[in-house]
Amino acid sequence: MREVAGLATSPPSPGPYSGVSASPAGRRFDPWRLYLLAATILVPVLLTPGPVQLAPIDALNAAAIGIFLLVSAHRGGSGLRIPFLAPVTVISIGSLLSITNARSVPLSLLTLLQDVYLYLWLILLVNMMAQHGRLRPIRIAWAWTAIGTALFGLIVVLAHGHGSIAEIVAPRGARAISTFTNPNYFADYLVLSFFIVLSTTDEVGRRFRAFAVIVLLLGLLSTKSNGGAIALLSGLAAWGIARAYMRRIRPMAIVGAATLAIALAVLGWSLVSEWRLGAGALNRLREGSYAGRMEHSSESRLRIWSQLKETYSRSPLGIGPGNSRALIVPVEQRQRPGSLQSKEAHSDYLGFAIERGPIALVGLLMLIGEAFGRVGRFWSRLARGEPRPVWGSAFAAAMIAGLVASSVHSLVIEKLHFRHFWLFLAVLYAATEDTIAQPASGAESSSSLLGSRPALNLPRNHLQETK
């Protein structure tokens, strides 16, 4: 057996796209494994504002995609996995139809080019990740990268004179962006990273998870992102319910606890709104934290959505991908001072409906539904008590929570062009691939970067017998 990136494991049988070659010593070298780790580490490094937002990872991805396509063509596409094909096809049809109404065809073509790039990257990631089982080294690399990114963002904020937690969460002042181009982009990365950390619950030590959770939460607070905070809370609620159910807690007990929490929230709201109990203190707290930005942020988005709704009424098939920014609008709705362009739609669902039309919106909902369905089938195997990996329940709960958080955040942000979102989908898709397709059998011993764990039940093609 061998140890790769902190994981002691026998290599899986090489798949048609594994690119594994044997060395004279009998050890196998897989350049795609190194690529996956490098891509995971580089994905948060952006620092290039503008409509294209190129990043260092794009050069690496371009080379990797080119090699992958050449290898696929040479092998006639044998064994090629094409994830989310049906929803992506529907989205493509709606997007192409909407171009007929585009004010700026070049802007639409640029947006579609970005779509093609991200989808090809997803295909590459899924096919490469499917060769590496549970993707533990990749998830741990993601966790450490997120910790470093969050710490960098916090250091920059502290360097601007925000020396306490109270100042970090204040409604005014510097908002952390770390290596990203805006705070909301950074916040979305931290939210998904949070659930990647939770996916390792049964695989790494508590100290590491506690450290990671604290750093990521502080990083999220420093972004002052309302949408990110709400998305995280939504995901945590889903995670808690999923973990409770997987631990065999009776469904009625879960429903009762949820009902009690809702009742307490309604009671608290009534005490403040009707009886004014603690209203003054609550208002001071709201005004003194970044939650005080929520009212202004909501009003701004409502103005943008109202203007886009009027435009959509004249173009029911959509105004063209990316064309919400090409509209000429009043000054309060402009993207930046001195520009005549509109702000973005600030919602994936509304953005798809208005820019790409109802057909593409249906495709987007299909994509989200297929992702939930895939994790649901994985979860169903766990619930039936079939032979299952030790890491499975924590992974399933974290993926469900991440999807819930992502779906909620998409209500107030356009995130489908975020690279880390597609990396998350690839992890979800690939790690459940063989578990869905065939029964799990055999065992794999693992040695952690952060401590040892017992043998795990894994799908057969993730194992190789040792002599």
> Which pLDDT score, from 0 to 100, does residue 2 have?
38
Number of domains in the chain: 1
Q: Which amino acid belongs to residue 304?
A: I
- Tokens matching residue 187: 């916040």
Residue 54 counted as domain residue: yes
The Cα–Cα gap between 442 and 459 comes to: 7
The answer to whether position 52 is within a domain reads yes
What letter does residue 170 receive in the DSSP assignment?
Answer: S
Tell me the percentage of the chain whose pLDDT exceeds 70. Answer: 63
Torsion, Cα of 60, 66, 68, 72 (10° steps): 170
- Residue in this structure with the two tokens 């802007």, named with its chain if needed: 107
What CA–CA distance (Å, rounded) separates 63 from 17? 16
Is 284 inside a domain boundary? no
Domain that holds residue 181: 2-248+356-462
How many alpha carbons fall within 13 Å on the CB side of residue 239?
Answer: 24
* Greatest Cα-to-Cα distance within the chain, rounded to the nearest angstrom: 79
Task: Give per-residue pLDDT as tens, 284-311.
Answer: 555 555 555 555 555 555 566 566 666 6
Residue 328 bridge partners (DSSP): 341
For residues 131 and 300, which has the higher predicted lDDT (pLDDT)?
A: 131
Q: Compute CA distances 463 → 132, 168, 379, 452, whole Å.
A: 10, 47, 22, 18
Specify if 257 maps to a domain.
no
Residue 443 CA to residue 463 CA, distance in Å, equals 7
Higher pLDDT, 271 or 441: 271
pLDDT in tens, 70-98: 999 998 877 899 999 999 999 999 999 99
**What's the confidence (pLDDT) of residue 132?**
81
CB atoms within 10 A of CB 343: 21
Maximum mean pLDDT: which of 11-15, 30-34, 381-385:
30-34
Establish if 290 belongs to a structural domain.
Answer: no
Amino acid at the residue 19: G
- In order of 6, 10, 51, 460, the CA distances from 388 in angstroms are 22, 19, 45, 12
In what helix (H) or strand (E) does residue 382 lie, and over which residues does it extend? helix 357-383
206 domain residue, yes or no: yes
Vertex 290 angle, CA 289 and 296, to 5°? 120
Q: How many residues are recorded in the chain? A: 467
Those residues with Cβ within 8 angstroms of residue 31's Cβ, 6 or more apart along the chain or in another chain? 19
* Residue 373 within a domain: yes
Helices (H), 160-225: 165-168, 183-198, 206-223
pLDDT digits (tens, 9 = 90+) for 19-66: 444 444 445 678 999 999 999 999 999 866 555 567 889 999 999 999
Q: What is the pLDDT of residue 425?
A: 98
| 3-state SS, residue 28 | strand
pTM to 2 decimals? 0.79
In a domain, 296, yes or no: no
